Amino acid sequence: MPVQYLKGVGPARATTFARLGVETAGDLLEYFPRDWLFAPEPVKLNQIQPGDNVTILGLIESTDFNSYIRPPMFEAMIVDNTGICRLVWFHGAYLREKLKPGQALIATGKVTKYKHQLQITNPKFLLIKDEKEKPEQYFSGGVYPATSKLSSGQIKKILRPVLEKVDVLVGEFYEPEFLKELNLISRKDSFRWIHLPPDKESLKKAKRRLKFDEFFLMQLGLALRRYRVRNFTKAAPMRLTEKIDSRIRKRFPFLLTEDQSNVISQITTDMSKSKPMNRLLQGDVGAGKTVVALYAALLAVANKKQVAIMAPTEVLANQHFLSMERYLRNSDVRRTLITGGLTGRKRKTLLNKIKKRQIDILVGTVAILQKDIEFQNLGLIVIDEQHKFGVQQRAGLRSVTGGSLPHCLVMTATPIPRTLAMTAFGDLDVSIIRHLPPDRGKVVTRWVDKADRSKAYEFIRQRLKAKKQAYFVYPRIANIEDKSSVKAATEECKKLKDRVFNEFTVELLHGRMPSARKQQVMTKFRKGKIDILVSTVVIEVGVDVPNATIMIVEEADRFGLAQLHQLRGRIGRGSSKSYCFLFAETESQTAKNRLDIMTRSSDGFEIAEYDLRLRGPGELFSTRQHGLPDLKIANIVNDYDLMVMARKKAFELVEADPMLRKTTHLNIRRALLNKFGDSLGLADIA
């Protein structure tokens, strides 16, 4: 039912609700409170005593903010027709524009006495905007994320009649035995109690049930997608013999690490089956994932199949191709690179070769997804930096392959915490390369403030004189406004070239440069003809120059942890000791924490877990990018154990009833399709 037709809404408020993501009565039920009040009934101010937990109702007589004391304090004097009470909020500067004399306010908290004056410190409060309202509606229940046009109290009033019809509106998903086994309350009670909890214990039970439902439906969607790929699609099995293994390994001028060998074993086992491989390969920057991907590609080629390797940027696609060329020199493997810049007759000739199976390995960007590229016998897809591609793009690549599905290996150098891996990539098998190759040089990371910058420059100069190379990375290409204080690559490149390091070769690289120019700069840098490469985050992934042992990140406080770790991964690629300098001046504690963990740890997985705790899953991970619905109440970090339980039950259910055809599962099936639509390709269970 459109929310517009609920009592007290109408067209104007419906527009406001739509901005909050609420368009139906069902959406309103799932518009969960941000906080809850468990307040006693209001008392007059002459009845309150020190030590009491009370709810009071009155007018703000005066306000004051004292910024000179520590901690700074905001106070408001509240009056009714019987007396006066002081409300105090430490660090309350944010209340200066919110609370004004003459406003009606309801507050709840513990009464204390200070200098003969009764006061409540840091009370929870709500402004009463409509004096006709009965204050009862404010005493307890949810406090909602509100707007200037729609207060929390108004949302609560509109919601109440909907809650009264919960028995009719809300159906149950699960059988009574299932609820009992997992100690879950009914779905009806969960909606009643999440909005109007009679007590804290009931609220806890309501949260647990609703969080479980979110996790369960998400994991059920992933389980069905995984089951469908494994059981309703076929792939060409790839045979691995000792001879093939030996010939592939001879291509690498080093012994593979134990981690690489273990991962290759998992991949070749998958590829030997007639079910499509669907595997995520995680490995820290420089861990040797490219070698593993090339092994899998050569296995496919040995089995007379074509291979597509896709990267998110032209720089990274070029890098993959060059790495591959290093190992495949003088081999019979037919390989080529395709990017968006290839046009006209050259492109037509190449497409014809792909179609006639005269190309074994095709490396490219999303250009590989274009419909005019026809593979004759595609056996393996390798997608690098999977987190930069949405689910729809991944599905698109597989859909261009015709009959049987190719095996699929997705790689990421952005270590994914286990919590995210279970949601974003819950339908994939996961392989991890944990350790770097033994010949890699150590990377020392230092946070450099303004006072030590000249020392850092002198150190860099000495390293450059020793014929080492450096990256200088800036947060943006150019300053749009002259007033901006953010350092930009184009302006700073000129300074470095003309003033700071004028005895060395300094060149610029950024994403807006023409492909040919980017390629030219990277080739010169790789060959050692450029001493300093000034860049933006275009070099964040994949660039591999072993002689580059210095990385300077300017305004490092503006970069996220994952990005800083990726940038640092561009050095330490050879055997020499490398140095990463983070130039930053910041007052932000969050930024300081990020810079601190970067200097203490080089373990990508540790950094990723820290980043997840620091920023939270909402900012770090968009479920929608992966074809999953956003979580409204569950939190993949704080509710990890509940997610594990929901995943176990979801996968068990799919094993027992893969199409959800049993009568007892019809409600679950309906709920699943309502939640996902066909974003996970689940139309065949509709």
Name the DSSP letter for residue 663.
G
Q: What does residue 176 show for φ and ψ, rounded to 5 degrees?
A: -55, -40
Q: Is a pLDDT exceeding 70 seen at residue 543?
A: no
List the beta bridge partners of residue 361: 307, 335
- pLDDT tier for residue 390 given thresholds of 50, 70 and 90: very low
Q: Residue 277 carries which side chain, given as an amino acid letter?
A: M
- Quick one: CA torsion of 48, 50, 56, 60, rounded to 10 degrees? 110
The domain limits of the chain are 35-143, 242-272+288-412, 450-584
Mean pLDDT of 8-30: 90
What is the token pair recorded at 85?
Answer: 């009470």
152/189: higher pLDDT: 189
- pLDDT tier for residue 539 given thresholds of 50, 70 and 90: low
CA distance 558 to 478: 15
Among the residue ranges 241-250, 611-620, 627-636, the one predicted with the least confidence is 611-620
Let me know if domain 450-584 sits in CATH 3.40.50.920: no
- Quick one: CA torsion of 19, 216, 25, 165, rounded to 10 degrees? -150
Residues contacting residue 188 through CB under 8 Å, at least 6 positions apart: 166, 167, 170, 172
Side-by-side strand order, sheet with 361-364: 335-338, 361-364, 306-310, 378-384, 407-412, 278-283, 429-433
Angle subtended at Cα 447 by Cα 443 and Cα 448, rounded to the nearest 5 degrees: 120
- Residue whose tokens read 């469908």: 228
CA distance 317 to 209: 46
What is the token pair recorded at 594?
Answer: 């990020």
Q: Is a pLDDT exceeding 90 seen at residue 604?
A: no
Mean pLDDT of 638-664: 91
Q: Helix 561-568 crosses helix 604-620 at what angle (to 10 degrees)?
A: 140
Q: pLDDT at position 463, please?
A: 92
Query: Are domains 35-143 and 242-272+288-412 of this chain identical in fold?
Result: no
284/171: higher pLDDT: 171
CA distance 117 to 107: 17
339/424: higher pLDDT: 339
- Residue whose tokens read 């956003």: 630
CA distance 273 to 236: 8
227 close to 654: Cβ distance less than 8 angstroms: yes
Mean pLDDT of 604-613: 80
Q: Residue 549 carries which side chain, given as an amino acid letter?
A: T
- pLDDT tier for residue 140 given thresholds of 50, 70 and 90: confident
CA distance 485 to 475: 11
**Greatest Cα pair distance in the chain:** 95
CA distance 506 to 511: 17
Query: Residue ranges of the alpha helices (H) in 304-448?
Result: 314-328, 344-355, 391-399, 418-424
CA distance 604 to 562: 8
CA distance 175 to 413: 43
Q: Is a pLDDT exceeding 90 seen at residue 37?
A: no
Kindly report the CATH class assigned to 242-272+288-412: alpha beta
Q: Residue 623 carries which side chain, given as an amino acid letter?
A: T
CA distance 305 to 355: 12
- Residue whose tokens read 């050569």: 298
CB atoms closer than 10 angstroms to residue 4: 16
22 close to 155: Cβ distance less than 8 angstroms: no
Q: pLDDT at position 616, please?
A: 63
139/269: higher pLDDT: 269
Q: Is a pLDDT exceeding 70 seen at residue 675?
A: yes
CA distance 217 to 667: 12
Q: Among 416-430, 498-512, 667-681, name the most confident range.
A: 498-512
Residues contacting residue 451 through CB under 8 Å, at least 6 positions apart: none
pTM of this prediction? 0.68
Q: Among 398-407, 488-497, 539-548, name the most confident range.
A: 488-497
CA distance 605 to 627: 24
Q: Is a pLDDT exceeding 90 seen at residue 192?
A: yes
Mean pLDDT of 363-372: 77
List Cα–Cα distances, 534 to 513, 515, 539, 576, 642, in angstroms.
13, 17, 10, 21, 47
CATH number of 35-143: 2.40.50.140
- pLDDT tier for residue 625 given thresholds of 50, 70 and 90: very low
Mean pLDDT of 171-194: 94
131 close to 150: Cβ distance less than 8 angstroms: no
Residue 677 CA to its chain's centroid (Å): 22
- pLDDT tier for residue 642 given thresholds of 50, 70 and 90: very high
586/628: higher pLDDT: 586
For 73-93, letters b (16+ CB in 10 Å) and e give bbbbbbebeeeebbbbbeebe
pLDDT, averaged across the chain: 84
Among the residue ranges 107-111, 144-148, 313-317, 400-404, the one predicted with the least confidence is 400-404
Q: What does residue 350 show for φ and ψ, rounded to 5 degrees?
A: -65, -45
Mean pLDDT of 454-471: 92
- pLDDT tier for residue 115 given thresholds of 50, 70 and 90: confident
End-to-end, the C-alpha distance of the chain in Å comes to 22
For 335-371, letters b (16+ CB in 10 Å) and e give bbbbbeebeeeebeebbeebeeeebbbbbbbbbbbee
612 close to 620: Cβ distance less than 8 angstroms: yes
- pLDDT tier for residue 184 given thresholds of 50, 70 and 90: very high
Mean pLDDT of 332-339: 89
Q: Is a pLDDT exceeding 60 seen at residue 436?
A: yes
What is the token pair recorded at 533?
Answer: 């490469």
What is the token pair recorded at 150?
Answer: 């729609």
Residues in the chain: 686
* Closest by Cα among 674, 676, 684 to 227: 684
What DSSP line would sit under 112-180, residue for residue?
Answer: EEETTEEEEES-EEEEE--TTS-THHHHEEEE---BTTB-HHHHHHHHHHHHHTHHHH----S-HHHHH
What is the token pair recorded at 650?
Answer: 């979801």
Name the E strands within 227-285: 278-283
Residues contacting residue 46 through CB under 8 Å, at least 6 positions apart: 82, 83
Q: pLDDT at position 146, please?
A: 84
* Closest by Cα among 342, 666, 258, 351 to 515: 342
Tell me the three state secondary structure of residue 70: coil
Q: Is a pLDDT exceeding 50 seen at residue 619?
A: no
19 close to 48: Cβ distance less than 8 angstroms: no
452/392: higher pLDDT: 452
Q: pLDDT at position 681, please?
A: 56
331/675: higher pLDDT: 331
CA distance 77 to 428: 59
Q: Is a pLDDT exceeding 70 seen at residue 558?
A: yes
472 close to 438: Cβ distance less than 8 angstroms: no
Q: pLDDT at position 678, please?
A: 61
What is the token pair recorded at 459?
Answer: 């150190």
Q: What does residue 416 show for φ and ψ, rounded to 5 degrees?
A: -105, 120
